Structure 1
Protein backbone atom coordinates (compact mmCIF):
# COMPACT_ATOMS: atom_id res chain seq x y z
CA UNK A 1 0.00 0.00 0.00
CA UNK A 2 2.74 2.61 0.80
CA UNK A 3 4.40 1.80 -2.53
CA UNK A 4 1.09 2.25 -4.38
CA UNK A 5 0.48 5.59 -2.66
CA UNK A 6 4.01 6.73 -3.51
CA UNK A 7 3.59 5.81 -7.17
CA UNK A 8 0.21 7.56 -7.18
CA UNK A 9 1.69 10.74 -5.66
CA UNK A 10 4.57 10.79 -8.16
CA UNK A 11 2.22 10.24 -11.10
CA UNK A 12 -0.18 12.93 -9.83
CA UNK A 13 2.65 15.45 -9.59
CA UNK A 14 3.31 15.13 -13.32
CA UNK A 15 -0.24 15.72 -14.59
CA UNK A 16 -2.94 18.33 -13.90
CA UNK A 17 -4.94 17.74 -10.71
CA UNK A 18 -8.22 17.53 -12.63
CA UNK A 19 -6.80 14.48 -14.45
CA UNK A 20 -5.24 12.68 -11.48
CA UNK A 21 -5.60 14.25 -8.01
CA UNK A 22 -3.03 13.66 -5.28
CA UNK A 23 -3.82 11.05 -2.58
CA UNK A 24 -4.27 13.74 0.08
CA UNK A 25 -6.79 15.53 -2.11
CA UNK A 26 -8.87 12.36 -2.33
CA UNK A 27 -8.49 11.88 1.43
CA UNK A 28 -9.82 15.41 1.96
CA UNK A 29 -12.76 14.62 -0.34
CA UNK A 30 -13.47 11.48 1.69
CA UNK A 31 -13.47 13.52 4.90
CA UNK A 32 -15.95 15.99 3.43
CA UNK A 33 -18.29 13.17 2.39
CA UNK A 34 -18.03 11.60 5.85
CA UNK A 35 -18.55 14.70 7.99
CA UNK A 36 -21.47 15.88 5.87
CA UNK A 37 -23.09 12.43 6.14
CA UNK A 38 -23.26 11.92 2.37
CA UNK A 39 -21.03 8.84 2.13
CA UNK A 40 -22.87 6.32 4.31
CA UNK A 41 -26.21 6.50 2.45
CA UNK A 42 -24.38 5.62 -0.78
CA UNK A 43 -22.57 2.69 0.83
CA UNK A 44 -25.73 1.46 2.56
CA UNK A 45 -27.78 1.61 -0.64
CA UNK A 46 -25.18 -0.45 -2.51
CA UNK A 47 -24.86 -3.01 0.29
CA UNK A 48 -28.63 -3.50 0.45
CA UNK A 49 -28.82 -4.14 -3.29
CA UNK A 50 -25.86 -6.49 -3.12
CA UNK A 51 -27.35 -8.41 -0.20
CA UNK A 52 -30.67 -8.95 -1.96
CA UNK A 53 -29.32 -9.89 -5.37
CA UNK A 54 -26.41 -11.98 -4.12
CA UNK A 55 -28.50 -13.74 -1.46
CA UNK A 56 -31.13 -14.78 -4.01
CA UNK A 57 -28.38 -15.83 -6.43
CA UNK A 58 -26.76 -18.03 -3.77
CA UNK A 59 -30.01 -19.88 -3.05
CA UNK A 60 -30.75 -20.37 -6.75
CA UNK A 61 -27.20 -21.51 -7.48
CA UNK A 62 -27.35 -24.06 -4.66
CA UNK A 63 -30.57 -25.56 -5.99
CA UNK A 64 -29.45 -25.57 -9.63
CA UNK A 65 -25.89 -26.73 -8.91
CA UNK A 66 -26.82 -29.61 -6.63
CA UNK A 67 -29.68 -30.72 -8.88
CA UNK A 68 -27.45 -30.63 -11.97
CA UNK A 69 -24.76 -32.58 -10.17
CA UNK A 70 -27.12 -35.29 -8.97
CA UNK A 71 -29.52 -35.70 -11.90
CA UNK A 72 -27.96 -36.19 -15.29
CA UNK A 73 -31.09 -35.30 -17.35
CA UNK A 74 -31.36 -31.98 -15.53
CA UNK A 75 -27.63 -31.39 -16.04
CA UNK A 76 -27.94 -31.96 -19.79
CA UNK A 77 -30.85 -29.52 -19.86
CA UNK A 78 -29.20 -26.87 -17.68
CA UNK A 79 -25.65 -26.80 -19.03
CA UNK A 80 -26.42 -25.02 -22.34
CA UNK A 81 -28.50 -22.43 -20.50
CA UNK A 82 -25.78 -21.85 -17.92
CA UNK A 83 -23.23 -21.41 -20.69
CA UNK A 84 -25.52 -18.98 -22.50
CA UNK A 85 -26.14 -16.78 -19.47
CA UNK A 86 -22.46 -16.74 -18.51
CA UNK A 87 -21.45 -15.73 -22.04
CA UNK A 88 -23.65 -12.62 -21.97
CA UNK A 89 -22.16 -9.70 -19.98
CA UNK A 90 -24.45 -9.08 -16.99
CA UNK A 91 -24.58 -5.35 -17.61
CA UNK A 92 -26.23 -6.08 -20.98
CA UNK A 93 -29.34 -7.04 -18.99
CA UNK A 94 -29.49 -3.68 -17.20
CA UNK A 95 -31.53 -1.77 -19.84
CA UNK A 96 -34.05 -4.61 -20.10
CA UNK A 97 -34.29 -4.83 -16.31
CA UNK A 98 -34.91 -1.08 -16.13
CA UNK A 99 -37.70 -1.40 -18.71
CA UNK A 100 -39.40 -4.20 -16.76
CA UNK A 101 -38.88 -3.06 -13.18
CA UNK A 102 -38.18 0.65 -13.45
CA UNK A 103 -35.55 2.73 -11.73
CA UNK A 104 -34.93 1.36 -8.25
CA UNK A 105 -33.87 -1.53 -6.07
CA UNK A 106 -35.37 -4.45 -7.98
CA UNK A 107 -33.93 -3.66 -11.40
CA UNK A 108 -30.37 -3.58 -10.04
CA UNK A 109 -30.90 -6.65 -7.84
CA UNK A 110 -31.98 -8.60 -10.94
CA UNK A 111 -28.74 -7.69 -12.73
CA UNK A 112 -26.76 -8.78 -9.66
CA UNK A 113 -28.70 -12.06 -9.56
CA UNK A 114 -27.92 -12.84 -13.21
CA UNK A 115 -24.26 -11.96 -12.76
CA UNK A 116 -23.73 -14.22 -9.74
CA UNK A 117 -26.16 -17.14 -9.91
CA UNK A 118 -24.92 -18.99 -12.97
CA UNK A 119 -21.14 -19.01 -12.29
CA UNK A 120 -21.87 -20.18 -8.76
CA UNK A 121 -24.21 -22.91 -10.03
CA UNK A 122 -21.48 -24.28 -12.30
CA UNK A 123 -18.94 -24.31 -9.46
CA UNK A 124 -21.36 -26.10 -7.12
CA UNK A 125 -22.27 -28.60 -9.85
CA UNK A 126 -18.57 -29.40 -10.31
CA UNK A 127 -18.27 -29.96 -6.57
CA UNK A 128 -21.15 -32.44 -6.54
CA UNK A 129 -19.75 -34.25 -9.58
CA UNK A 130 -16.39 -34.59 -7.81
CA UNK A 131 -17.96 -36.84 -5.17
CA UNK A 132 -16.76 -40.44 -5.53
CA UNK A 133 -19.35 -43.00 -6.60
CA UNK A 134 -18.10 -45.31 -3.87
CA UNK A 135 -19.14 -42.86 -1.17
CA UNK A 136 -22.67 -42.65 -2.54
CA UNK A 137 -22.93 -46.43 -2.95
CA UNK A 138 -21.66 -47.00 0.58
CA UNK A 139 -24.29 -44.65 1.98
CA UNK A 140 -27.00 -46.42 0.01
CA UNK A 141 -25.86 -49.81 1.25
CA UNK A 142 -26.16 -48.48 4.79
CA UNK A 143 -29.76 -47.54 4.06
CA UNK A 144 -29.48 -43.84 3.28
CA UNK A 145 -32.46 -42.43 1.43
CA UNK A 146 -32.37 -39.66 -1.19
CA UNK A 147 -32.85 -36.87 1.36
CA UNK A 148 -30.21 -38.34 3.65
CA UNK A 149 -27.79 -38.62 0.73
CA UNK A 150 -28.35 -34.97 -0.06
CA UNK A 151 -27.86 -33.78 3.54
CA UNK A 152 -25.09 -36.14 4.68
CA UNK A 153 -23.13 -36.88 1.49
CA UNK A 154 -23.64 -34.36 -1.31
CA UNK A 155 -23.85 -31.11 0.62
CA UNK A 156 -20.87 -31.75 2.97
CA UNK A 157 -18.70 -32.88 0.06
CA UNK A 158 -19.67 -29.79 -1.94
CA UNK A 159 -18.94 -27.31 0.88
CA UNK A 160 -15.35 -26.49 -0.20
CA UNK A 161 -16.62 -25.84 -3.70
CA UNK A 162 -19.44 -23.73 -2.28
CA UNK A 163 -16.98 -21.42 -0.55
CA UNK A 164 -15.11 -20.97 -3.84
CA UNK A 165 -18.42 -20.40 -5.60
CA UNK A 166 -19.35 -17.69 -3.09
CA UNK A 167 -16.07 -15.90 -3.72
CA UNK A 168 -16.57 -16.04 -7.50
CA UNK A 169 -20.22 -15.03 -7.23
CA UNK A 170 -19.57 -12.07 -4.95
CA UNK A 171 -16.89 -10.69 -7.27
CA UNK A 172 -19.22 -10.97 -10.25
CA UNK A 173 -22.14 -9.50 -8.29
CA UNK A 174 -20.11 -6.57 -6.94
CA UNK A 175 -18.87 -5.59 -10.40
CA UNK A 176 -22.38 -5.88 -11.83
CA UNK A 177 -23.79 -3.77 -8.98
CA UNK A 178 -21.41 -0.90 -9.59
CA UNK A 179 -21.96 -0.97 -13.35
CA UNK A 180 -25.75 -1.11 -12.96
CA UNK A 181 -25.74 1.77 -10.48
CA UNK A 182 -23.77 3.86 -12.96
CA UNK A 183 -26.53 3.33 -15.53
CA UNK A 184 -29.80 3.24 -13.61
CA UNK A 185 -29.62 4.46 -10.01
CA UNK A 186 -30.10 7.68 -8.11
CA UNK A 187 -28.01 6.54 -5.14
CA UNK A 188 -25.14 4.16 -4.45
CA UNK A 189 -21.38 3.94 -4.92
CA UNK A 190 -21.64 3.36 -8.66
CA UNK A 191 -23.94 6.38 -8.95
CA UNK A 192 -21.41 8.39 -6.96
CA UNK A 193 -18.64 7.48 -9.42
CA UNK A 194 -20.83 8.21 -12.45
CA UNK A 195 -21.91 11.64 -11.16
CA UNK A 196 -18.30 12.50 -10.31
CA UNK A 197 -17.32 11.74 -13.89
CA UNK A 198 -20.18 13.76 -15.31
CA UNK A 199 -19.28 16.89 -13.35
CA UNK A 200 -15.54 16.42 -13.82
CA UNK A 201 -14.79 15.78 -10.13
CA UNK A 202 -11.88 13.32 -10.22
CA UNK A 203 -11.64 13.39 -6.41
CA UNK A 204 -15.16 12.00 -6.13
CA UNK A 205 -14.51 9.39 -8.81
CA UNK A 206 -11.36 8.12 -7.09
CA UNK A 207 -13.10 8.17 -3.70
CA UNK A 208 -15.86 5.96 -5.10
CA UNK A 209 -13.31 3.58 -6.64
CA UNK A 210 -11.46 3.40 -3.31
CA UNK A 211 -14.69 2.57 -1.44
CA UNK A 212 -15.51 -0.15 -3.99
CA UNK A 213 -12.07 -1.71 -3.57
CA UNK A 214 -12.13 -1.42 0.23
CA UNK A 215 -15.47 -3.23 0.57
CA UNK A 216 -14.33 -5.99 -1.80
CA UNK A 217 -11.09 -6.39 0.17
CA UNK A 218 -12.95 -6.56 3.48
CA UNK A 219 -15.30 -9.27 2.15
CA UNK A 220 -12.38 -11.26 0.79
CA UNK A 221 -10.21 -11.09 3.91
CA UNK A 222 -12.88 -11.22 6.63
CA UNK A 223 -15.38 -13.65 5.07
CA UNK A 224 -14.26 -15.71 2.10
CA UNK A 225 -10.69 -16.48 3.15
CA UNK A 226 -11.91 -17.61 6.57
CA UNK A 227 -14.58 -19.82 5.05
CA UNK A 228 -12.11 -21.33 2.63
CA UNK A 229 -9.57 -22.08 5.37
CA UNK A 230 -12.27 -23.69 7.47
CA UNK A 231 -13.52 -26.06 4.77
CA UNK A 232 -10.38 -26.54 2.64
CA UNK A 233 -9.39 -29.58 4.69
CA UNK A 234 -12.67 -31.26 3.64
CA UNK A 235 -11.49 -31.60 0.03
CA UNK A 236 -10.80 -35.19 -0.86
CA UNK A 237 -12.33 -36.59 2.36
Structure 2
Protein backbone atom coordinates (compact mmCIF):
# COMPACT_ATOMS: atom_id res chain seq x y z
CA UNK A 1 0.00 0.00 0.00
CA UNK A 2 2.83 2.38 0.87
CA UNK A 3 4.54 1.56 -2.42
CA UNK A 4 1.36 2.35 -4.36
CA UNK A 5 0.94 5.64 -2.50
CA UNK A 6 4.54 6.57 -3.24
CA UNK A 7 4.05 5.84 -6.91
CA UNK A 8 0.93 8.01 -7.02
CA UNK A 9 2.56 10.92 -5.20
CA UNK A 10 5.97 10.61 -6.85
CA UNK A 11 5.48 9.02 -10.28
CA UNK A 12 8.52 7.55 -11.93
CA UNK A 13 9.97 10.08 -14.40
CA UNK A 14 9.90 9.17 -18.07
CA UNK A 15 13.08 9.91 -20.01
CA UNK A 16 11.45 9.60 -23.42
CA UNK A 17 10.49 13.28 -23.38
CA UNK A 18 14.10 14.30 -22.80
CA UNK A 19 15.30 12.96 -26.15
CA UNK A 20 13.90 15.74 -28.34
CA UNK A 21 15.15 18.65 -26.17
CA UNK A 22 18.55 16.97 -26.01
CA UNK A 23 18.63 16.68 -29.81
CA UNK A 24 17.65 20.35 -30.19
CA UNK A 25 20.38 21.47 -27.78
CA UNK A 26 23.02 19.45 -29.64
CA UNK A 27 21.70 20.84 -32.94
CA UNK A 28 21.91 24.45 -31.70
CA UNK A 29 25.43 23.97 -30.36
CA UNK A 30 26.61 22.37 -33.60
CA UNK A 31 24.93 25.04 -35.76
CA UNK A 32 26.57 27.83 -33.76
CA UNK A 33 30.00 26.57 -34.82
CA UNK A 34 29.44 26.40 -38.58
CA UNK A 35 28.00 28.80 -41.18
CA UNK A 36 24.21 28.90 -41.40
CA UNK A 37 24.20 27.76 -45.03
CA UNK A 38 25.89 24.52 -43.90
CA UNK A 39 23.77 23.81 -40.81
CA UNK A 40 20.94 26.25 -40.05
CA UNK A 41 19.46 26.70 -36.61
CA UNK A 42 16.16 24.95 -35.73
CA UNK A 43 14.24 28.24 -35.95
CA UNK A 44 15.56 28.76 -39.50
CA UNK A 45 14.17 25.35 -40.47
CA UNK A 46 10.87 26.22 -38.75
CA UNK A 47 10.70 29.47 -40.74
CA UNK A 48 11.31 27.51 -43.93
CA UNK A 49 8.50 25.16 -42.94
CA UNK A 50 6.07 28.03 -42.38
CA UNK A 51 7.00 29.45 -45.78
CA UNK A 52 6.22 26.12 -47.46
CA UNK A 53 3.06 25.78 -45.39
CA UNK A 54 1.73 29.24 -46.29
CA UNK A 55 2.28 28.63 -49.99
CA UNK A 56 0.40 25.31 -49.80
CA UNK A 57 3.36 23.43 -51.28
CA UNK A 58 4.16 21.51 -48.10
CA UNK A 59 0.78 19.80 -47.98
CA UNK A 60 0.99 19.06 -51.69
CA UNK A 61 4.37 17.33 -51.33
CA UNK A 62 3.29 15.30 -48.29
CA UNK A 63 0.05 14.15 -49.93
CA UNK A 64 1.91 13.13 -53.09
CA UNK A 65 4.29 10.96 -51.06
CA UNK A 66 1.53 9.41 -48.96
CA UNK A 67 -0.50 8.48 -52.04
CA UNK A 68 2.49 6.66 -53.50
CA UNK A 69 3.29 5.04 -50.16
CA UNK A 70 -0.16 3.65 -49.47
CA UNK A 71 -0.69 2.58 -53.08
CA UNK A 72 2.49 0.52 -53.26
CA UNK A 73 2.29 -0.63 -49.64
CA UNK A 74 -1.37 -1.66 -49.92
CA UNK A 75 -0.65 -3.82 -52.96
CA UNK A 76 2.37 -5.28 -51.14
CA UNK A 77 0.23 -6.25 -48.12
CA UNK A 78 -2.22 -8.18 -50.32
CA UNK A 79 0.61 -9.98 -52.16
CA UNK A 80 2.52 -10.70 -48.94
CA UNK A 81 -0.51 -12.26 -47.25
CA UNK A 82 -1.22 -14.47 -50.26
CA UNK A 83 2.42 -15.56 -50.65
CA UNK A 84 3.13 -15.93 -46.91
CA UNK A 85 0.00 -17.92 -46.09
CA UNK A 86 0.37 -20.14 -49.17
CA UNK A 87 4.05 -20.81 -48.42
CA UNK A 88 3.24 -21.63 -44.81
CA UNK A 89 0.44 -24.03 -45.68
CA UNK A 90 1.84 -25.86 -48.72
CA UNK A 91 5.38 -27.20 -48.64
CA UNK A 92 5.89 -27.50 -52.45
CA UNK A 93 5.01 -23.83 -52.91
CA UNK A 94 7.26 -22.91 -49.97
CA UNK A 95 10.22 -24.75 -51.53
CA UNK A 96 9.51 -23.04 -54.86
CA UNK A 97 9.17 -19.50 -53.52
CA UNK A 98 11.95 -19.45 -50.89
CA UNK A 99 14.82 -18.89 -53.36
CA UNK A 100 12.85 -16.08 -54.99
CA UNK A 101 12.17 -14.42 -51.64
CA UNK A 102 15.84 -14.67 -50.71
CA UNK A 103 16.88 -13.21 -54.05
CA UNK A 104 14.56 -10.21 -53.94
CA UNK A 105 15.35 -9.50 -50.28
CA UNK A 106 19.09 -9.51 -51.00
CA UNK A 107 18.81 -6.82 -53.69
CA UNK A 108 18.53 -3.24 -52.36
CA UNK A 109 15.10 -1.94 -53.41
CA UNK A 110 16.50 1.32 -54.75
CA UNK A 111 18.46 -0.71 -57.33
CA UNK A 112 15.11 -1.35 -59.05
CA UNK A 113 14.35 2.38 -59.40
CA UNK A 114 16.20 2.99 -62.71
CA UNK A 115 14.62 -0.08 -64.31
CA UNK A 116 11.19 0.94 -63.04
CA UNK A 117 11.66 4.40 -64.52
CA UNK A 118 12.57 2.87 -67.88
CA UNK A 119 9.50 0.65 -67.88
CA UNK A 120 6.88 2.99 -66.41
CA UNK A 121 8.33 6.45 -66.89
CA UNK A 122 8.49 9.35 -64.47
CA UNK A 123 5.41 9.26 -62.27
CA UNK A 124 3.30 7.46 -59.72
CA UNK A 125 3.55 3.89 -61.00
CA UNK A 126 7.33 3.66 -61.21
CA UNK A 127 7.77 4.67 -57.55
CA UNK A 128 4.86 2.50 -56.39
CA UNK A 129 6.57 -0.52 -57.99
CA UNK A 130 9.77 0.17 -56.04
CA UNK A 131 7.74 0.46 -52.82
CA UNK A 132 6.01 -2.83 -53.62
CA UNK A 133 9.31 -4.67 -54.15
CA UNK A 134 10.81 -3.15 -51.00
CA UNK A 135 7.99 -4.19 -48.66
CA UNK A 136 6.19 -7.24 -50.09
CA UNK A 137 8.93 -9.84 -49.67
CA UNK A 138 10.00 -9.09 -46.06
CA UNK A 139 6.34 -9.14 -45.05
CA UNK A 140 5.76 -12.43 -46.89
CA UNK A 141 8.64 -14.09 -45.02
CA UNK A 142 7.34 -12.86 -41.64
CA UNK A 143 3.80 -14.03 -42.37
CA UNK A 144 5.11 -17.40 -43.55
CA UNK A 145 6.97 -17.83 -40.25
CA UNK A 146 3.78 -16.99 -38.40
CA UNK A 147 1.85 -19.73 -40.19
CA UNK A 148 4.68 -22.23 -39.65
CA UNK A 149 4.76 -21.42 -35.91
CA UNK A 150 1.27 -22.91 -35.43
CA UNK A 151 1.55 -26.29 -33.74
CA UNK A 152 0.29 -29.36 -35.57
CA UNK A 153 -1.66 -30.35 -32.45
CA UNK A 154 -3.94 -27.33 -32.80
CA UNK A 155 -4.59 -28.16 -36.43
CA UNK A 156 -5.32 -31.84 -35.64
CA UNK A 157 -7.68 -30.86 -32.83
CA UNK A 158 -9.61 -28.56 -35.13
CA UNK A 159 -9.83 -31.25 -37.81
CA UNK A 160 -11.09 -33.80 -35.29
CA UNK A 161 -13.85 -31.36 -34.41
CA UNK A 162 -14.82 -31.26 -38.08
CA UNK A 163 -13.18 -28.03 -39.27
CA UNK A 164 -12.73 -27.70 -43.02
CA UNK A 165 -9.99 -25.80 -44.86
CA UNK A 166 -11.75 -22.45 -44.71
CA UNK A 167 -12.60 -22.92 -41.05
CA UNK A 168 -9.00 -23.85 -40.28
CA UNK A 169 -7.83 -20.73 -42.06
CA UNK A 170 -10.35 -18.45 -40.33
CA UNK A 171 -10.31 -19.93 -36.80
CA UNK A 172 -6.82 -21.43 -36.40
CA UNK A 173 -4.23 -20.03 -38.80
CA UNK A 174 -5.42 -16.43 -38.97
CA UNK A 175 -5.85 -15.79 -35.19
CA UNK A 176 -2.59 -17.55 -34.30
CA UNK A 177 -0.58 -15.63 -36.90
CA UNK A 178 -2.01 -12.16 -36.13
CA UNK A 179 0.98 -11.08 -33.98
CA UNK A 180 3.27 -12.01 -36.88
CA UNK A 181 1.01 -10.09 -39.26
CA UNK A 182 1.25 -6.93 -37.16
CA UNK A 183 5.04 -7.31 -37.02
CA UNK A 184 5.08 -7.78 -40.79
CA UNK A 185 3.11 -4.56 -41.28
CA UNK A 186 5.58 -2.59 -39.17
CA UNK A 187 8.56 -4.02 -41.01
CA UNK A 188 6.94 -3.56 -44.41
CA UNK A 189 5.91 0.03 -43.82
CA UNK A 190 9.40 1.00 -42.64
CA UNK A 191 10.96 -0.61 -45.72
CA UNK A 192 8.36 0.99 -48.00
CA UNK A 193 8.87 4.46 -46.49
CA UNK A 194 12.65 4.30 -46.98
CA UNK A 195 12.24 3.09 -50.54
CA UNK A 196 9.71 5.84 -51.28
CA UNK A 197 12.01 8.64 -50.17
CA UNK A 198 15.01 7.20 -52.04
CA UNK A 199 13.00 6.66 -55.23
CA UNK A 200 11.57 10.19 -55.09
CA UNK A 201 15.08 11.59 -54.79
CA UNK A 202 16.06 9.79 -57.99
CA UNK A 203 13.03 10.02 -60.24
CA UNK A 204 10.15 12.24 -59.14
CA UNK A 205 8.92 15.76 -59.78
CA UNK A 206 7.14 16.07 -56.43
CA UNK A 207 7.10 14.48 -52.98
CA UNK A 208 9.14 14.69 -49.79
CA UNK A 209 12.14 12.93 -51.31
CA UNK A 210 12.08 15.29 -54.29
CA UNK A 211 11.89 18.19 -51.83
CA UNK A 212 15.06 16.99 -50.08
CA UNK A 213 16.89 16.39 -53.37
CA UNK A 214 15.95 19.81 -54.75
CA UNK A 215 17.07 21.49 -51.54
CA UNK A 216 20.45 19.79 -51.87
CA UNK A 217 20.84 20.85 -55.50
CA UNK A 218 19.95 24.46 -54.64
CA UNK A 219 22.20 24.51 -51.58
CA UNK A 220 19.20 25.17 -49.33
CA UNK A 221 20.11 23.19 -46.23
CA UNK A 222 17.01 24.46 -44.37
CA UNK A 223 14.79 22.84 -47.00
CA UNK A 224 16.81 19.62 -46.77
CA UNK A 225 16.45 19.48 -42.99
CA UNK A 226 12.76 20.33 -43.25
CA UNK A 227 12.23 17.37 -45.56
CA UNK A 228 14.23 15.10 -43.25
CA UNK A 229 12.14 16.24 -40.26
CA UNK A 230 8.89 15.53 -42.14
CA UNK A 231 10.15 12.06 -43.10
CA UNK A 232 10.98 11.21 -39.49
CA UNK A 233 7.79 12.76 -38.07
CA UNK A 234 5.53 10.90 -40.52
CA UNK A 235 7.18 7.57 -39.75
CA UNK A 236 6.94 8.25 -35.99
CA UNK A 237 3.25 9.11 -36.25
CA UNK A 238 2.49 5.92 -38.17
CA UNK A 239 4.43 3.88 -35.62
CA UNK A 240 2.77 5.51 -32.60
CA UNK A 241 -0.79 5.98 -33.80
CA UNK A 242 -1.26 2.87 -35.95
CA UNK A 243 1.18 0.02 -35.53
CA UNK A 244 1.73 0.23 -31.76
CA UNK A 245 -2.02 0.29 -31.19
CA UNK A 246 -2.51 -2.73 -33.42
CA UNK A 247 0.32 -4.56 -31.68
CA UNK A 248 -1.02 -3.77 -28.20
CA UNK A 249 -4.42 -5.10 -29.22
CA UNK A 250 -2.93 -8.53 -29.96
CA UNK A 251 -0.08 -8.44 -27.42
CA UNK A 252 -1.81 -11.03 -25.24
CA UNK A 253 -1.78 -13.53 -28.10
CA UNK A 254 2.01 -13.77 -28.13
CA UNK A 255 3.27 -17.13 -26.94
CA UNK A 256 -0.19 -18.69 -26.93
For the superposition of Structure 1 and Structure 2, which TM-score range results when normalised by the shorter chain? Answer: over 0.9
1:189 paired with 2:208, answer yes
In structure 2, the residue matched to 1:219 is: 238
Q: Distance in 2 between matches of 1:200 and 1:70?
A: 54
In structure 2, the residue matched to 1:22 is: 41
Task: Name the larger-Rg structure.
Answer: 2
1:60 paired with 2:75, answer no
TM score, norm. by length of structure 1: 0.99
Q: Distance in 2 between matches of 1:109 and 1:231?
A: 30
Shift of 1:236: 2.6
In structure 2, the residue matched to 1:93 is: 112
TM alignment of 1:159-170, pairs within 5 A: 159-170=178-189
CA-based RMSD of the aligned residues comes to 0.6
In structure 2, the residue matched to 1:8 is: 27
Partner residue of 1:135 out of 150, 154, 157:
154
Partner residue of 1:45 out of 45, 59, 64:
64
What is the number of equivalent residue pairs in this alignment? 237
Q: Distance in 2 between matches of 1:65 and 1:50?
A: 21
Q: Distance in 1 between matches of 2:55 and 2:38?
A: 25
TM score, norm. by length of structure 2: 0.92
Shift of 1:232: 1.5
Shift of 1:71: 0.5
Secondary structure in 2 aligned to 1:4? helix
Q: Deviations over 1:77-133 (max 9, x none)?
A: 111100100000000000000011111000000000000000000000000010011
Shift of 1:36: 1.1
Structure 2: runs of 5 or more not aligned? 1-19
Q: Distance in 2 between matches of 1:117 and 1:97?
A: 16
Q: Distance in 2 between matches of 1:148 and 1:167?
A: 27
Q: Deviations over 1:20-73 (max 9, x none)?
A: 111110000001000111100000000000010000000100000011111111
1:113 paired with 2:102, answer no
Q: Distance in 2 between matches of 1:147 and 1:34?
A: 50
Runs (4 or more) in structure 1 with deviation over 6 Å come to none
